[in-house]
Structure 1
Amino acid sequence: MSAFDDLMAFQRETSALGQIAGRLGWDQETMMPRGAAPQRAEEMAAIEAVLHARKSDPRVAEWLDQADASDASGRAQLREIRRSYERTIKVPADLAKALARVTSAAQGKWAQARADEDVSAFLPVLEEVVALKREEGAALAQGGDVYDAMVEDYEPYTTGAQIAEIFDQMRPRLVALRATVLDQPAPKALEGSFDETEQMRLSQKLARAFGYDLNRGRVDKAVHPFSSGSGSDVRITTRTSATDPFNCFYSTIHEVGHAAYEQGINPDYALTPLGQGVSMGVHESQSRIYENQLGRSRAFTGWLFTQMRDAFGDFGIADADAFYATVNHVQNGYIRTEADEVQYNLHIMLRFDLERALMAGDLQVSDLEAAWNDRFKADFGYAVDKPSNGCLQDVHWSVGLFGYFPTYSLGNVYAGCLYQALRSAVPGLDGQLAEGDTSGATTWLRENVQQYGGLYAPREVIARASGVEPGPDPLLSYLEQKFGALYGL
C-alpha cells in the first residue's frame, strides 16, 4: 500500500476508537448509574491515553512526509490530519491523560453542585481543570495567545480577537432591539400541564419531520441536551418539563440540526477527518437554522400549533398567530439554553469574556461566581438568584470546553448568512413549512453544507453556500425584521 493508504487505514482505526469514547460519554449522560462515575473517569482516561498515543504516533509524521493525494478530498484529508497531528504532539501524554481523568470526575461534581446549589463544592475541581487547560493552552500556543489555542480546537482558523470584533459589531444592535422589545406587552403564556411521555412522543415526530433518520439514531432524555456520534450512529438527547414543552421540542429540533449534519456527510468520508462537521460554528449553524429560522417561523409554528392541540388539548392559546407570538416571546431569564433569539448572543458574550479572562489569568476561579453575577447584572439589569441560574448552569467548563462558547454565536452568524441564501433558493419554503414539510430547506442544507463534512474550511463552506463572506449583518437584519413585525415596532 502507499503511504497515503497506510495513513488513512491508521486514521480510520483512530477515529473508530474516538467514536467508542463518544459512546462512553453518551452513556455517562444518559444511562450510567451515578456510582459508576469514578470507574468511568478511569475508563475515559485510559482510552484518551490510547487515542493520544495514536494521534502522536511518529509513523503519522512519516506517512505525512511521504503521502501524496491526487484529488481535493485527499488533500483535505492530509491537511486535517497534519493539523491534528501538529497540535497533538505539542501536548504531553501525561497532561492529556490527566485532563481526561479530571474532567470526567469534574462533570459529576458539577452536576451534584448544581443540584445542591453549592458553588463551593465545584470550585476545587474547576481549579484543577482550569490549571490543566492553561497548561495545555500554553503548550499549544508556544508563546502565542492561550485562548486562541483553545478556540482552534472548535473553530479552526479563528482567533479570540476576530470573535471579539464580531461581538462588538453585534452588541449595540442587540442591546437596542432587546430594550425596545422588552418594553412591549408580553404575549399570552401557555397554560396547564403537559404530559412528559407525550412530549417525548411528539419530539420523535418533530425529529422525523426535520429529516432525522431514527434507523441511524435515537432520542433519549438527559439533564443537558446534546448530540453525539457521526455517520451511521448519531444520537441526540432532549429534556422535558411538565410546564414548558417548548424546552423539549426546540431542544429536540436543535439537536436534530446537529445530527442531520453528521448524517448528511458524504459516507465516503466515514471515520476520517472529513467525516465530521468542519467546526462547531458550522455545526451550530445547522442546529440554529433548524431551531430558529425554520422551527420558530410563522409557517412552521402554525403546523406545530395543530400538533400540540392534538396531543395536549387546549392550552390557553387561541390561534396560530397567538401561538407564534408565544413561541417567540422575548422575556427576561437566566438560562442560556432557554434564551430567545434576541438575547441568546448576549449570554454567549458574557461567557466568552469570562473564559477568555480565565485562560489569560486575569480572572481566578475563586472570583468566578462574583464576576459572573456582576456581569449578568450589568448586561441584563437584574441579579442572579441562585447558582444553577448563574455560573453552574452549563456543563462546558467542567469538561474543559474553553473556547467552545463563542462558536454558538458564530453559528448564529453563519445561520443568518445561510438563511438569506436559502430563502432565495427555495421560493415555496413557507408553504412547505406550513404543512410540516422541511424537506426543501433540509435538502438545500444537505447539498450545500452538510455533505461536505470537513472538506472546506469553516468560513469557506459558509461563503460557498451563501454567496457572501460570513458576517453578522444578515443575522441582525433577520432579527430586527422578525421581531419588529412581531412586536409592531
Structure 2
Amino acid sequence: MSNVAYAELMAHQRETEALAQVAGRLGWDQETMMPRGAADQRAEEMAAMEGVLHARRTDPRVGDWLEAAEAADETQEAMLREIRHSYARSCRVPAALAQEMARVTSRAQGIWAEARGNEDVAAFLPVLDEVVRLSRETAAALAVDGQSHYDALLDDYEPGAKAETLDAMFAALRPELVALRGEILEKPEPAALTGAFDPDVQVALAEEVAVAFGYDMARGRIDKAVHPFCSGSGQDVRITMRTDPADPFNCLYSTIHETGHACYEQAVDAEYGLTPLGQGASMGVHESQSRLYENQIGRSAAFTGWLHGKMVARFGADALPDAEGFYKAVNRVQRGYIRTEADEVQYNMHVLLRYDLERALVAGDLAVGDLEAAWNDRFEADFGYAVDKPSNGVLQDVHWSVGLFGYFPTYTLGNVYAGCLNEALRTAVPDLDASVAQGDMSPATDWLRENLQRYGKRYLPRDVIARATGAEPSEAPLVAYLRAKFGALYDL
C-alpha cells in the first residue's frame, strides 16, 4: 500500500506543480506584456488560480497519502519531506485568506508600478497597508510552537532560518562593511562611463553574455520589465532586464544576475521536473548563484577584460576607457540609492535597511503611514545623504507590493553563501580566471552545476552549501574576498 500511496501522492503533486507554473506565467505576463487595462481582471484570475492551488495543497487525501507512503530511497524521502512541510503550512492558512492575498497583491503590483513612475507614495500606501495587514494575518496563521511571526514568513524563502541567527551573522558583517566603505570613500573615485549607449545594442550584448554564462535560450527568453526578475523552472525559465542609455552596466549586470537564477533552475536534475525538488533549495541559495555569477565572476578583472572587448566591438573604443579603467568603472564604489545597482561593498547595507524595516512592519512596531519617513531617516543615517525622490527610496523595490515579507534578508544570506562558494570554487579550479578571460565561464558553471545546482531542493539550504564547500556557512569568506578585491582596487 505504501508504494501505491506514494505514486498517487506524486501524481497529485505533479499536477499541482504544473498549475503553479501556469500561475507563475500569469505573473510574468503581468510584468512584461499584459495591457495596463487588464489589471483588475488579472487580479481575479490570480485569486482564482490561488484558490485552486490552495485546495490541492490542502486536499485531505494529501494527509492520508503522507501517512501511508514510505520512501524507498533518499530522493523519495526528500520528496515526502517537502510535501509534508508544504501541506502543514498550507493547511494553517485559510483558503479565503490565501485568495485575498493573491487578489490584493496582484492589484498592488500595478499600483506600485504606477506610483513609482509618478513619484507618488501616497497613491501606494493604502494598498500596501492592505498587503501588510494580510501578511500579518498569514504570519499569525503560520506561526507554531512559539515561532515569531517574522520567522514564520521567513520560512517560506529560507526554510529553517531564524531571525536570531541572521541577526548574529549580520551583526558580524555590518561593521566590516562600514569600515571598508569608510576607507574606500577617502580615496579618489574612479571615473564612470559617460556617453549614450544604444539600448538595442545593450540588449543584444546582454543576450550574448547570458548565453556565455550557460543560459539555454531554447528553454528561456529575455524581456524588458520595470524590475528585473527570473520566473519559471525546468523547461521554461524566463528572465527580464531593463535598459538605461546612460548606464549599460544596469542592463548587463542585471542580466548576469538573473542569468544566475535562471541557470540554477535550468540545471536542476530533469528527473525532478514538476516535483517538489524541481527548483532551487531556497531564495538564499538562489541568490548565491546570481551574486556569484554577477560579482565574483562577472566583476572580476578576467571577465571585465573579455567584456571590454565585446563592448569596444559594439560601441567603439572612443566610448570606453581602456581595460583597466573599465574594470575600475565596473567596480566603482559610489554614492547611490538603488539596491540593484549598488556596488558589492554597499549592497548589503541596502538589504539590512529593508530587513529592519520589514521586521518592524510585520511586528506592528512601524505603521505603513510612517514607512517613508522611517526609510528616509535610516538611509541618511546609514549612507550620509538624503533620499532625493521616492523611486530612489521606499518605492524602488517591488517586493512589499507583492507580499514578499521575509524575502529581503535572503539577499545578504545569498552573498554570504556566494563568498563561501567562491572560496571553494577557486580552490577546486585554480586556473579559473584564465578561462573566464577568454569568455569561457564553463569551468565555474560546470562546478556549480555538479556540486549544487543539480540537486534542486533535495537538501536543505545550509546543507547544500555545506556539501558544496565542505564547511558551514560563514560571513568570513565574503569579508575576506571584499577586503582583498577592494583593497587592491583602492590601494588600501
TM-score tier, shorter chain, comes to: over 0.9
- Check whether the contact 1:190–1:315 (CA below 8 A) recurs between aligned residues: no
Name the SS of the counterpart of 1:86 in structure 2: helix
Instruction: Kindly state the Cα deviation for residue 469 of structure 1 after the two structures are TM-superposed.
Output: 0.6
Letter matched to residue 241 of structure 2: T
* Distance across 2 between alignment mates of 1:394 and 1:17: 27
Instruction: Kindly state the Cα deviation for residue 70 of structure 1 after the two structures are TM-superposed.
Output: 1.1
Instruction: Kindly state the Cα deviation for residue 316 of structure 1 after the two structures are TM-superposed.
Output: 4.6
- 1:182-201 alpha-carbon deviations (Å, 9 max, x no partner): 11111111121101111110
Which residue of structure 2 aligns with residue 408 of structure 1?
411
Q: 1:438 aligns with which of 438, 441, 457?
A: 441
Give unpaired runs (5+ residues) of structure 2: none
Name the SS of the counterpart of 1:194 in structure 2: coil
- 1:167-220 alpha-carbon deviations (Å, 9 max, x no partner): 101000000000111111111111211011111100110011000000000111
Which residue of structure 1 aligns with residue 288 of structure 2?
285
- 1:149-172 alpha-carbon deviations (Å, 9 max, x no partner): 010000000011111111101000
Name the SS of the counterpart of 1:229 in structure 2: strand
Q: 2:314 aligns with which of 308, 311, 314?
A: 311
Letter matched to residue 348 of structure 1: V
Which residue of structure 2 aligns with residue 425 of structure 1?
428
- 1:436-469 alpha-carbon deviations (Å, 9 max, x no partner): 1000000000000100000000000000101111
Which residue of structure 2 aligns with residue 115 of structure 1?
117
Q: 1:382 aligns with which of 380, 385, 391?
A: 385
- Check whether the contact 1:376–1:384 (CA below 8 A) recurs between aligned residues: yes
* Distance across 1 between alignment mates of 2:212 and 2:411: 24
Give the 5 Å matches for 1:229-378: 229-378=232-381
* Distance across 1 between alignment mates of 2:427 and 2:415: 19
- Check whether the contact 2:312–2:320 (CA below 8 A) recurs between aligned residues: no
Name the SS of the counterpart of 2:231 in structure 1: strand
- Check whether the contact 1:191–1:315 (CA below 8 A) recurs between aligned residues: no
Letter matched to residue 365 of structure 2: D
* Distance across 1 between alignment mates of 2:292 and 2:318: 27
* Distance across 1 between alignment mates of 2:318 and 2:434: 26
Which residue of structure 2 aligns with residue 72 of structure 1?
74
Letter matched to residue 78 of structure 1: L
* Distance across 2 between alignment mates of 1:272 and 1:182: 48
* Residue 63 (structure 2) pairs with residue 61 (structure 1): yes
* Distance across 2 between alignment mates of 1:23 and 1:129: 22
Instruction: Kindly state the Cα deviation for residue 88 of structure 1 after the two structures are TM-superposed.
Output: 0.3
* Distance across 2 between alignment mates of 1:315 and 1:160: 50
Letter matched to residue 69 of structure 1: A
Name the SS of the counterpart of 2:430 in structure 1: coil
- Check whether the contact 2:190–2:329 (CA below 8 A) recurs between aligned residues: yes
* Residue 178 (structure 2) pairs with residue 175 (structure 1): yes
- Check whether the contact 2:78–2:458 (CA below 8 A) recurs between aligned residues: yes
- Structure 1 stretches of 4+ with a deviation exceeding 3 A read 315-318
Q: Equivalent pairs: percent with the same residue?
A: 67
* Distance across 1 between alignment mates of 2:319 and 2:223: 29
Letter matched to residue 166 of structure 1: M
* Distance across 1 between alignment mates of 2:180 and 2:338: 19
Which residue of structure 1 aligns with residue 126 of structure 2?
124
Instruction: Kindly state the Cα deviation for residue 315 of structure 1 after the two structures are TM-superposed.
Output: 4.7
* Distance across 2 between alignment mates of 1:204 and 1:374: 39
* Residue 139 (structure 2) pairs with residue 137 (structure 1): yes
Which residue of structure 1 aligns with residue 4 of structure 2?
2
* Distance across 2 between alignment mates of 1:189 and 1:348: 24
TM-score where L is the length of structure 1: 0.99
How much is the aligned-residue C-alpha RMSD, in angstroms?
0.8
* Residue 212 (structure 2) pairs with residue 209 (structure 1): yes
* Distance across 1 between alignment mates of 2:433 and 2:21: 38
- Give the paired residue count: 489
- 1:310-331 alpha-carbon deviations (Å, 9 max, x no partner): 0101355432111100000000
Instruction: Kindly state the Cα deviation for residue 144 of structure 1 after the two structures are TM-superposed.
Output: 2.6
Name the SS of the counterpart of 1:454 in structure 2: coil
* Distance across 2 between alignment mates of 1:141 and 1:69: 28
* Distance across 1 between alignment mates of 2:34 and 2:164: 40
Q: 2:159 aligns with which of 156, 159, 167?
A: 156
* Residue 90 (structure 2) pairs with residue 88 (structure 1): yes
* Distance across 1 between alignment mates of 2:23 and 2:436: 37
